[in-house]
A and B are shown apart, each in its own frame.
Chain A
Amino acid sequence: MSDDRPDQPPSDEPAEEPRQPSAEQPELERPEGEHRPQWRQTLAILLSNRAAAVGLVVLIVMVLTAVFADQLIRFPINEDNIANRFAPPSADHWFGTDDLGRDVYSRVVMGARVSLQVAAISVTISLVAGTLLGLIAGYRGGWLDTVTMRAVDVAFAFPAVLLAIALVAVFGPSLRNTMIAIGIVFTPIFARVVRGSVLSVREDLYIRAIRSLGASDGRIILRHVLPNVAAPVIVQTSLSLAFAILLEAALSFVGAGVQRPTPAWGLMLADAQRFIAQGWWLSVFPGMAIFVTVMAFNLMGDGLRDALDPRQRTLIEARGAGGGEDE
């Protein structure tokens, strides 16, 4: 009976209904000023946190270092020079030379590329896999959820390093397999974080509202659930990058990660250990590199957590840092 009115009656109908919008709306709309996009607001809050800002700057420097490593190195990284072993830091060799006479500075710089590459790729693997698992498990619930989360619990029962070593032992040690192993090790963390958020978002009224409009589950998950769980995922990504660098260094250190002669920081530390008496610079500079990078990721992760947490956000904005909107 109503099929003949799919088109809304156009606006030419009788004036019984006062069209002036003002006729009935005593609510005062907040004069909004300009509306800043959400990510810019987040960035503003992030940068107002000094530690996070430092972290961000260090990371940018690190990434640039990794990208332009070819231009930044001063000696070929794998060129032995036995005559010049264990040279202390000097104008020529800023970070000294190692047991084979290779330039430590150049190797640390190139190591940034290896570390960041491993971190980025392995975290991407776990991010995608874990988010997918968490979304499906959390949204669907039931046995699927139970099975996934018990599997996650089992994975958590292993120490991360042990699990990674076991996986590398199965796959065989190489750069690629290190990334896959770390990716697998971190997947459960993302699955759990995402699933937890999905459980709460799923119950929100707007999800029911969008279902009542006829949206399919796939659409709801991708367009409505996913954006609402993004904040914890972003924070987890930042922190996981730090852990991934540490884990890669640990794996390389024990020989289950990147293989010689690739200049990985963990590998350099492992070599330096044997020559600790011959030169402090062998261990200090790669160690510093790991420390600074991990620290930077952690600082930024903490800052992001504050910036993306609505409650913290209100607090921070109340102090006038973020400016703009309340609520």
Chain B
Amino acid sequence: MADDPILSVRDLHVSFRTKRGLARVVRGLDYDLHAGETLAIVGESGSGKSVSTLAMTKLIPMPPGQVSGEVWLGDDDLVPLSEKHLLHYRGRRIGYVFQDPMTSLNPVHPIGRQLTEGMRYHLELSDEEIRERAIDLLQKVGIPSPEKRLDDYPHQFSGGMRQRVVIAIGLSCDPEVLVADEATTALDVTTQAQIVELIGRLQDELGMGVIWITHDLGVVAGIADRVLVMYAGQVVEAADVDALYARPRHPYTVGLMRSLPVLGDLERRDLASIPGLPPSPTALPEGCAFHPRCAFRDDDRCATEAPPLRDIGDGHLIRSFYEVPEEIAQEAAAEARIEIEPPDADDVGDAAAEVGSRSGRGGET
């Protein structure tokens, strides 16, 4: 992956003017995304992970919102572009898949119409070609008898099927970057695994870069190449996925890992949590943004001085004056690392074939 990144974010700041003052939601974000790479951005609600990706194409409400910094997509910096110009990037070069498949489809239009909408804006294809492409896309994401389902309405699909449609829409114009914003959060575990597997497969096939936004460090282990952990609008730890799980260093990362439930663990009855709440973006604490909640606080400077993001080798970055002790960190990481195995192809194949044939018949009547 020595080639040039397809997406480079430099010093991205996003803030909103609110009645209680300026809310600084993203504070200086830097990262690169390469073709075929999966970058996971992890953090609690309100850490700025979603906003940072929406802000790339200014999908946030812009009168109260402000974006600064640089977002290089290939040779173009998106930040100075006007709304009119950004229309050519949205969907065409950066595709989005949102969290909730139940609400990210418009209930009044058939899915075919929604699937082809982006293509009509961006691709110069005839109606016939667009239709073929739509069928092809639906087939790619695993929707049975796609030509028959184009005219169906969203409410005629189950949650998992809808998310497949939403993914197909996100992919419809062949974007270089796909942003999957909590794309599996609203789904049950089995479906989650399938969607994860599906996006991975499509990524290999199409060679796009994927930004996977989630709060679930467990999911990340199985899918990401590199992980950014965000807190209060900043990266607190960034590392390649194996390095991160081998030895997480930042107290917040370790806290997140410890707060994951461990299936089948009878020993640990209580679920660890990080005390307190994330700070309000209008009233960030002095010093390290995390210090009031930090369980490993170990330096006088924490409360007064903001720690810089420092490189501790091999591109492993942390924003802290000290590191979590090795033993604790590794224990937390080991427990967190439940790979959601994209279930054994054979197993699922059999079970699904059975179910599929049943539903196939039902769906065609």
Residue A261 is within 8 A (CB to CB) of chain B in the complex: no
Residue B261 is within 8 A (CB to CB) of chain A in the complex: no
Q: B91 contacts A30, CB within 8 Å?
A: no
Inter-chain contacts of A211 with B (CB < 8 A): 59, 90
A20 CA / B114 CA spacing, docked (Å): 24
Inter-chain contacts of A21 with B (CB < 8 A): 139, 142-146, 356, 360
CB distance from A165 to the nearest CB of B (A): 40
Inter-chain contacts of A30 with B (CB < 8 A): 156, 158, 362
Q: A31 contacts B362, CB within 8 Å?
A: yes
Inter-chain contacts of A33 with B (CB < 8 A): 365
Contact A214 B122, CB 8 Å, known A26-B351, A206-B106: yes
Chain B 326-365 interface mask (CB, 8 Å, partner A; 1/0): 0000000000000000000000110111011111111101
Residue B105 is within 8 A (CB to CB) of chain A in the complex: yes
| Smallest Cβ-Cβ distance to B359: which chain A residue | A29
Chain B 82-109 interface mask (CB, 8 Å, partner A; 1/0): 0000011111100110111001111111
Residue with the greatest number of chain A CB neighbours at <10 A, chosen from B35, B96, B106, B348: B106
Inter-chain contacts of B74 with A (CB < 8 A): 1
Inter-chain contacts of B6 with A (CB < 8 A): 1-2
Q: A25 contacts B144, CB within 8 Å?
A: yes
Contact A29 B100, CB 8 Å, known A5-B174, A212-B59: no
A212 CA / B208 CA spacing, docked (Å): 17
Inter-chain contacts of B114 with A (CB < 8 A): 210
Taking a contact as CB atoms closer than 8 A, the residue among B142, B166, B174, B362 that contacts A8 in the complex is B174
Q: B106 contacts A228, CB within 8 Å?
A: yes
| Smallest Cβ-Cβ distance to B356: which chain A residue | A22
Q: B57 contacts A25, CB within 8 Å?
A: no
Q: B201 contacts A17, CB within 8 Å?
A: yes
Residue with the greatest number of chain B CB neighbours at <10 A, chosen from A13, A29, A32, A205: A29
Residue A157 is within 8 A (CB to CB) of chain B in the complex: no
| Smallest Cβ-Cβ distance to A326: which chain B residue | B155
Residue B133 is within 8 A (CB to CB) of chain A in the complex: yes
Q: A26 contacts B355, CB within 8 Å?
A: yes
Inter-chain contacts of A215 with B (CB < 8 A): 87, 117, 121
Count, chain B residues at interface, CB 8 A: 81
Inter-chain contacts of B201 with A (CB < 8 A): 17
Taking a contact as CB atoms closer than 8 A, the residue among A11, A19, A205, A223 that contacts B104 in the complex is A205
Inter-chain contacts of A159 with B (CB < 8 A): none
| Smallest Cβ-Cβ distance to B342: which chain A residue | A24
Residue B284 is within 8 A (CB to CB) of chain A in the complex: no
Q: B118 contacts A214, CB within 8 Å?
A: yes
A208 CA / B197 CA spacing, docked (Å): 25
| Smallest Cβ-Cβ distance to A325: which chain B residue | B155
Helix, strand, loop or mixed for chain A's interface? loop
A26-83 interface with B by 8 A CB criterion: 26-33, 35
Taking a contact as CB atoms closer than 8 A, the residue among B95, B105, B146, B355 that contacts A25 in the complex is B355
Contact A27 B158, CB 8 Å, known A8-B174, A11-B139, A214-B92: yes
Q: A206 contacts B145, CB within 8 Å?
A: no
Contact A27 B166, CB 8 Å, known A1-B74, A1-B176, A21-B143: no
Inter-chain contacts of A24 with B (CB < 8 A): 142, 194, 197-198, 348-349, 352, 356
Chain B 153-196 interface mask (CB, 8 Å, partner A; 1/0): 10111111100001001001110100000000000001100100
Residue A15 is within 8 A (CB to CB) of chain B in the complex: no
A89 CA / B365 CA spacing, docked (Å): 61
Residue B205 is within 8 A (CB to CB) of chain A in the complex: yes
Taking a contact as CB atoms closer than 8 A, the residue among A8, A216, A227 that contacts B136 in the complex is A8
Residue B278 is within 8 A (CB to CB) of chain A in the complex: no
Inter-chain contacts of A8 with B (CB < 8 A): 133, 136-137, 140, 174
Residue B313 is within 8 A (CB to CB) of chain A in the complex: no
A83 CA / B64 CA spacing, docked (Å): 77
Q: B91 contacts A214, CB within 8 Å?
A: yes
A202-228 interface with B by 8 A CB criterion: 204-206, 208-216, 223-224, 227-228
Q: A2 contacts B92, CB within 8 Å?
A: no
| Smallest Cβ-Cβ distance to A28: which chain B residue | B359
Inter-chain contacts of B158 with A (CB < 8 A): 27-30
A309-327 interface with B by 8 A CB criterion: 325, 327
A29 CA / B362 CA spacing, docked (Å): 7
CB distance from B169 to the nearest CB of A (A): 7
CB distance from A253 to the nearest CB of B (A): 42
Inter-chain contacts of B276 with A (CB < 8 A): none
Contact A22 B169, CB 8 Å, known A17-B201, A29-B362, A213-B90: no
A99 CA / B104 CA spacing, docked (Å): 66
Q: B352 contacts A210, CB within 8 Å?
A: no
Chain B 108-151 interface mask (CB, 8 Å, partner A; 1/0): 11000010011001110000000001001101101111100000
Residue B22 is within 8 A (CB to CB) of chain A in the complex: no
Residue B152 is within 8 A (CB to CB) of chain A in the complex: yes
A209 CA / B180 CA spacing, docked (Å): 12
Q: B352 contacts A22, CB within 8 Å?
A: yes
Residue B283 is within 8 A (CB to CB) of chain A in the complex: no
A33 CA / B136 CA spacing, docked (Å): 25
Taking a contact as CB atoms closer than 8 A, the residue among B57, B63, B197 that contacts A212 in the complex is B57
Inter-chain contacts of B136 with A (CB < 8 A): 8, 10-11
Taking a contact as CB atoms closer than 8 A, the residue among A18, A23, A32, A206 that contacts B363 in the complex is A32
Contact A213 B98, CB 8 Å, known A1-B74, A206-B103: no
Q: A227 contacts B108, CB within 8 Å?
A: yes
Q: B144 contacts A22, CB within 8 Å?
A: yes
Inter-chain contacts of B208 with A (CB < 8 A): 2
Known: A24-B356, A30-B156, A208-B59. 4 other contacts (CB 8 A): A21-B145, A23-B356, A209-B166, A215-B121
In the complex, the 7 A-B pairs of residues with the closest C-beta atoms, listed nearest first: A22-B356, A31-B362, A21-B144, A213-B91, A213-B118, A212-B96, A27-B158
Q: What are 17 residue pairs bridging A and B, where the CB atoms are less than 8 Å apart in the complex? A: A9-B206, A11-B136, A11-B139, A13-B205, A21-B139, A21-B143, A24-B348, A27-B159, A27-B191, A28-B359, A31-B361, A208-B59, A209-B104, A212-B57, A213-B90, A213-B121, A224-B106
